[in-house]
Amino acid sequence: MQIAEFQELIRRRYHETDAARGVPGTFLWFTEEVGELANALGHRERGDGDDDNLREEFADVLAWLTTLANITGVDLTDAIRRKYLDGGGPEGSK
């Protein structure tokens, strides 16, 4: 699946609800998911991680980030191309 396809999938499934929630509420959900990913990564580092849960948390973080892009009108493919592909992209840091 391409990034644009995923962004469109998230838009079709959730845009009405996401737009009604707005950026502040959606950002709160996003940060909660980042916290859940941090927890899953911590478990992995301690040796008691659950690979299925880790994958789910990565997917959730990506989905909520994509939701934020959708409700703010950001095309992720274009943003990535501009930042990392045009002119070679930044070196040494993001």
Reported as a single tens digit per residue, the pLDDT across 7-60 is 999 999 999 999 999 999 999 999 999 999 999 999 999 999 899 999 999 999
Domain 23-86 has CATH 3.40.50.300: no
Provide the pLDDT for residue 18.
Answer: 95
b vs e for 49-68, b when ≥16 Cβ sit within 10 Å of the residue's Cβ?
Answer: eeeeebeebeebbbbbbbbb
Q: Is the pLDDT of residue 94 over 80?
A: no
Provide the pLDDT for residue 16.
Answer: 96
Q: Is the pLDDT of residue 88 over 80?
A: no
How many other C-beta atoms are found inside a 10 Å radius of the C-beta of residue 94?
6
| Full-model pTM | 0.89
